[in-house]
Amino acid sequence: MPVEVDTGLATLSDQLILVTVLLYVIAMIGYALQLGFGRAAARASAAPVRELATVGGRSAAADAPETPDAQDTHRDGQEDAQDGAEAAAKAGNAAPRPGFAERAGTIAVVLTWLGWATNLGSIMTRGLAVDRWPWGNMYEFVVAIAFAAVTVFLLMQLRYPVRFLGAFVALAATLSLGFAVRYLHVQAGPVVPALNSYWVAIHVSAAIAASGLFIVGGVSGILYLVRGEKPSRLPSRAELEAIAHRVVVLAFPIWTFAVIAGALWADKAWGRYWGWDPKEVWAFITWIAYAAYLHARATAGWRGRAAVIVQLIAFGCLLFNLIGVNMFLGGLHSYADVPN
């Protein structure tokens, strides 16, 4: 019996995705404003005070001889330094503070949460429209991965000072959703019988969650290479590498579970655990690449550029597994409904 599609909910899902893209774009601009102006202004206003304190501080007075004239000179020097520091502070207060940058960052967070909600709404209405799990084709899968990446960022920024990642995660989510809407969109409808299984909720959900974490790690790794060693508004390279490593450590066991669950599902659907299907092969290659990164960092002591490059190679394998295999290679997983 054919599955009836609720066209109203399906249309609403498509509209919510467009709203999500708009919200993520505006949020990205807000994050960029805070990153571009907020941190730089804070450092500039603090620098003169630190410099004056160093010049007129203990080091200058330590060598002064203990004579009345020297003591008077020392006191005068301290007073001059204090007056200079106060003048610098007043000058900093008088200068126009880029408060708009901090406000833009706060607004960006609010807009990201709103975009997250509309993204979730689009996924739920898509599933309700066809009465199934809403990741049965490439369009739905990419929408869910964008949602997962934004979810990871929002949860991280609640605990860690990683708001600087917002502009780049929002950019990645916007590009992913734009690509999905433009090139991958298919009308809501039933899926092939192989996907009508509870394993979709287990295997695919785990792959989506791990992919969202890997995307945040990939963004951090790319920023590590782009940042360089010069002064920057971005955090230090060590901090960027630590963020990338932290999310990969969390994502790797989830991806491992997804690979194992996929093998169990393959045995149930096709009567074998492993069949050298391109999707299976690249999922395993991705697992090996991330395992190599974690192993090299834990045992060989790899840090810095070499470790990040290995992590980004693994990230490239992940992207090809998620998109390239379905678009360019055939196999048993070619039922992803990629439009021609």
Total of domains in the chain: 1
Give the pLDDT means over successive 10-residue stretches in the chain (340 positions).
76 94 96 80 37 36 42 45 44 50 90 97 93 86 94 93 93 94 86 74 91 94 86 85 93 95 83 82 94 87 85 94 78 56
- Contact between residue 247 and residue 217 where contact means Cβ atoms under 8 Å apart: yes
46, part of any domain:
no
Q: With contact defined as beta carbons under 8 Å apart, do 211 and 145 qualify?
A: yes
Q: What pLDDT score was predicted for residue 211? A: 94
Residue 90 lies in a domain: no
69 assigned to some structural domain: no
pTM (2 d.p.)? 0.79
Residue 80 resides in a domain: no
> What pLDDT does residue 200 have?
81
pLDDT at 93: 42
Which pLDDT does position 92 carry in this prediction?
Answer: 42
Q: What is the pLDDT of residue 22?
A: 96
- For residues 218 and 227, give the distance between their C-alpha atoms in angstroms, rounded to a whole number: 14
Residues 6+ apart with CB under 8 A from 63: none
In a domain, 298, yes or no: yes
Q: Is residue 66 part of a domain?
A: no
Domain-located, residue 248: yes
Q: Which domain holds residue 130?
A: 7-24+102-328
Asked if residue 57 is part of any domain, the answer here is: no
